[in-house]
Structure 1
Amino acid sequence: MSATSSPPAPEAQTLIPCLPDDVAVSILARVPRSQHPVLCLVSRAFRSLLSSALFATTRRLLSPTEPSLYLTLRSSSTSSLLCFTLLRRRLVPISPVPSPYIGSAYAVLGPELYVLGGSHNDVASARVWVLDCRFNTWRPGPSMRVPREFAAAGVVDGKLYVMGGCVADTWARAANWAEALDPKTGSWAAVPSPDEVREKWMHASAVIDGKLYAMADRGGVVYDSRREVWSPVENELDNGWRGRACVVDGILYCYDYLGKIRGFDWGEGLWKELKGVEKGLPRFLCGATMANMGGNLIVVWEGKSAVGNGKEMEVWCAEIEVRKDCNGELVGEIRWSESVLTVPARSSIVHCVAVTL
C-alpha cells in the first residue's frame, strides 16, 4: 500500500449476519415490546433500530400491535410527575411529564398519550403535553382555548374532547367550556354546550358506545358527538360511579364504597359485583385505578411495603380476565397479581392507561 493511499472503509454492520437488513427488520419488528429491552442489549445497531421511525413504521404495517400500560405517579420525594411503562411485570421509568401539574386530564389518541391542563400554585393551565409512546418522548401539543384543571377528556371518532375544569364566568370560558381537538389540523374548536351542564370539577370520564360520559361534583353529563346532543347521566350509573373507572367489553368497571370491584351492565341498567376475585385482591378503598389492556381489566393500587420501616410504598398490579357467565353475572379470573414498583411512602398514583402500539 502506498503512503498516500487511504485505508479501506470499514464494512457497515449488519443487523443479523447472513441476512439482508430489510429481512432482519421484518423479523425484529415481530418481537413483543416486552422483549425490546433485551434486544437493546444485543448490539448498538439493535438499540438504534428500536428507537427509529423505520422500526415503528414496520411494526405498524405488520400489525403486531399489543397494549402497553403507562402509569403516572407523584412522588413524595420530588415535585416531578413520574412516568412508567409496564415491562415484564415491572414498572420501568421513562421521561417524566415536563410540567408536573396537579389535576391534569389524560386521553389516548392512537399511539400518543395526551396530558391536558392542570394547575400549578393554584393557577390553571391550558398547556398540553403529548407522549409519543412508540419512542417514549414528549413534545408540546396545541394549547387548549381556556385553562383547565380536573377536566374530563376522551376520544370519539378520532377527535379528542375535553370539558369542564373551568368556571364559566366569562364569555370565553362559557363558549369554550367544552372543546375538541382535530389531530389532522392540530387545532381546537369550541363545542356548544347548554348552561345547565357546565359544572366545574370533573372527577371521572369514559367513552362508551361512541358517547363521552363525564362525572361532575353533582351528577354527570353525556355528550353524543355524532348527534351533538347533551343529556344527564342516568341515576343508577351516577349513584354507583366512584371515578377511576374503565370500560371492558361494554361494561364500566370501578370500585364501590366497600372497596369491591363492580361493573355497570348497560343492557340491564344495573351494577353487578365482579365475582371470583374476592380472595386474590384487597379492598380498594383509595389509591387504585383501572385500565383496559387488550380486553383484560388491569387494576393498579397502592400497598404497604413489607420492609423499609414505613418509609416505602409498593405499587401493585393485577391483570384480570373478565366475562359474563351464562347467568349474566360478571366473573373475573386473576391472571397475575404482583408488586411492580417500590417508591417512597406517601407517594400517590395519579393515572394509568393502556396504549396500543
Structure 2
Amino acid sequence: MSTAAAAAATTTTEEPQVLIPSLPDDVALNCLARVPRSHHPTLSLVSKPIRTVLSSPLFFTTRSLLHSTEPLLYLSLRSPLSPSLFFCLTSRHENDRTLTPVPPIPSAPVGAAYAAVGSTIYVLGGSINDVPSANVWALDCRFNRWQPAPRMPVGREFAAAGAVDGKIYVMGGCVGDTWARSTHWAEVFDPGTGTWEPVASPIEVRDKWMHASAVVDGKVYAMADRGGIVYNASNGEWESVESELDMGWRGRACVVDGVLYCYDYLGKIRGFDVEEKAWRELRGVERGLPRFLCGATMANVGGKLLVVWEVKRKVVEIWCAEIAVEKREGGREVGRQGWLLPQWVLYRALLGGCSLMYLNV
C-alpha cells in the first residue's frame, strides 16, 4: 500500500461518525433524547453511532436535563425458581404493555427491603440460607445492570426502608440484642458518598419487626408487629403511628398526593389522609377490580395509583390496573380506572412476595 493510501485509510478510520448527517452532534443528541423509550429498540437499528449513544450515560443525563424521562415500574416476584425475579413494565403504546425480564440479581435474598433513588433501585439485606444479610445490590435502571453497593453494618431481613431527599433510611429487621446492633438498628445511606451512618433510635422501638413501610411528607412510616412508628428525617424525631392508621393499614401500601392507600378487610381500597387523620373508601373502582383480602400490591406511577394482582389458572396471570384519583368536595375520593394489563407468567409467581418500585428513567 502506498504512503498516500495508508494515510487516507488512517484518516477514514479515525474520522468520527456523526449521529445524524447534516446536524451537529449536540443538536442530534438533543433530538434523540426526546424520543420515547418505546422507540429506542427500533432507533438503535438505524446506525452504530446511534446505538452506541442510546446506551451512554451522556444520553440519560441529556434526557433528564430535558425533562424527557419516563416513568418505569419494576416488579420483584417470588417463585420456585428464585426468591427474587425482576421485571420491568414497558410499553410500545397505550394499549401494548408487557413485563420485560431483568437480569437476575447475583445473590437473590428473601425478605429484602427496597428503595429507589434517581435511576437506581437498591435491594437491602434479606436472608440467604436463613441468615440475615448485610448485602446491598444496586440496579442501574438505565442499563438494567446490577452492581454491589456498600454493605450495611448489620444484617437485616424484613426491614422497613424509604428514600427521603436522596438518602435511604432503613430500620429494623435485626434483633437489637448487642451494642452494635442496637446502635445500627436504624441507619441512613448516602448514595453520593457511599457511606452508612447510624440513626439514633429510642430503646422502646428496637424490638419491633416491620411488615410494611411508606414515605409521606418526608417521614418514613413503618408498620410493626405491635404499633407502627414514624421517623421524621428533617429533625430526627421518632413518633408513634396514629391509632387510626395503625388499625387500618394492612398489607402493602403506596402514597399518592399525601394519601396512603391500601386494602381493608373487606377487600376495598381505602386512603388515609395524614393531615385529616381519617380513612376514606376509594369509590368508582367497583367494576373491573376484584375485591382483595390479600396478595395485591400498589405503587404510585406518575401520580396515578397502580394496582397489581394475580389470577390463578393453569399458570398465574399477572394483572395491573391504573387508577387516576380525584379528591372532590366533602373529602370524597373518586378513582377513574384506566387500562388493564393481562400478562402470562410461565412459572408460578407469588405476589405475596411481590414488591413494586417506580422511578423516572
What is the deviation of 1:340?
A: 3.2
1-structure distance, mates of 2:279, 2:124: 30
Q: 2:49 — aligned with what?
A: 45
**Given the alignment of the two structures, is residue 339 of structure 1 paired with residue 342 of structure 2, yes or no?**
yes
- Could you say what secondary structure the match of 1:48 adopts? helix
1-structure distance, mates of 2:79, 2:42: 28
Q: Where do residues 1-357 of structure 1 align in structure 2 (5 Å cutoff)?
A: 2=2, 5-6=5-6, 8=9, 9=12, 12-76=16-80, 78-79=81-82, 81-88=84-91, 89-305=97-313, 310=314, 312-348=315-351, 349-357=353-361
> Does the Cα contact within 8 Å between 1:90 and 1:341 map onto a contact in 2?
no
> Does the Cα contact within 8 Å between 2:83 and 2:110 map onto a contact in 1?
no
- Could you say what secondary structure the match of 1:327 adopts? helix
Give the aligned residue type for 1:283: R
What is the deviation of 1:65?
A: 2.6
Identical positions, percent = 61
What is the deviation of 1:346?
A: 4.8
Give the aligned residue type for 2:282: L
1-structure distance, mates of 2:282, 2:346: 30
TM-score w.r.t. length of structure 2: 0.92
Superposed CA deviations along residues 49-90 of structure 1, whole A, max 9, x for unmatched, are 1111111121122122321111111232x2262211111111
> Does the Cα contact within 8 Å between 1:205 and 1:215 map onto a contact in 2?
yes
> Does the Cα contact within 8 Å between 2:78 and 2:349 map onto a contact in 1?
no
- Could you say what secondary structure the match of 1:284 adopts? coil
2-structure distance, mates of 1:144, 1:109: 17
Q: 2:94 — aligned with what?
A: none
Could you tell me which runs of 5 or more consecutive residues in structure 1 were left unpaired when the two chains were aligned: none
2-structure distance, mates of 1:242, 1:102: 21
Q: CA RMSD in A?
A: 1.9
What is the deviation of 1:17?
A: 3.1
What is the deviation of 1:134?
A: 1.6
- Could you say what secondary structure the match of 2:99 adopts? strand
Superposed CA deviations along residues 34-59 of structure 1, whole A, max 9, x for unmatched, are 33233234343332211111111211
The 3 A distance-change label for structure 1 pair 3 and 141 is closer
The 3 A distance-change label for structure 1 pair 304 and 169 is same
TM-score w.r.t. length of structure 1: 0.93
- Could you say what secondary structure the match of 1:196 adopts? helix
Range moving further from structure 2, 223-232 or 42-51: 42-51
> Does the Cα contact within 8 Å between 1:113 and 1:133 map onto a contact in 2?
yes
> Does the Cα contact within 8 Å between 1:101 and 1:120 map onto a contact in 2?
yes
> Does the Cα contact within 8 Å between 1:80 and 1:97 map onto a contact in 2?
no
- Could you say what secondary structure the match of 1:331 adopts? strand
2-structure distance, mates of 1:14, 1:80: 45
Q: What is the number of residues matched between the two proteins?
A: 351
What is the deviation of 1:13?
A: 4.2
Superposed CA deviations along residues 118-161 of structure 1, whole A, max 9, x for unmatched, are 00121000000011112211111111111000000011222211
What is the deviation of 1:213?
A: 0.6
1-structure distance, mates of 2:253, 2:34: 32
2-structure distance, mates of 1:171, 1:135: 40
2-structure distance, mates of 1:250, 1:294: 14
What is the deviation of 1:169?
A: 0.8
- Could you say what secondary structure the match of 1:344 adopts? coil
Superposed CA deviations along residues 322-348 of structure 1, whole A, max 9, x for unmatched, are 111123111101111111342313544
2-structure distance, mates of 1:173, 1:2: 74
The 3 A distance-change label for structure 1 pair 79 and 4 is same
- Could you say what secondary structure the match of 2:286 adopts? coil
2-structure distance, mates of 1:111, 1:204: 23
1-structure distance, mates of 2:25, 2:223: 51
- Could you say what secondary structure the match of 1:230 adopts? strand
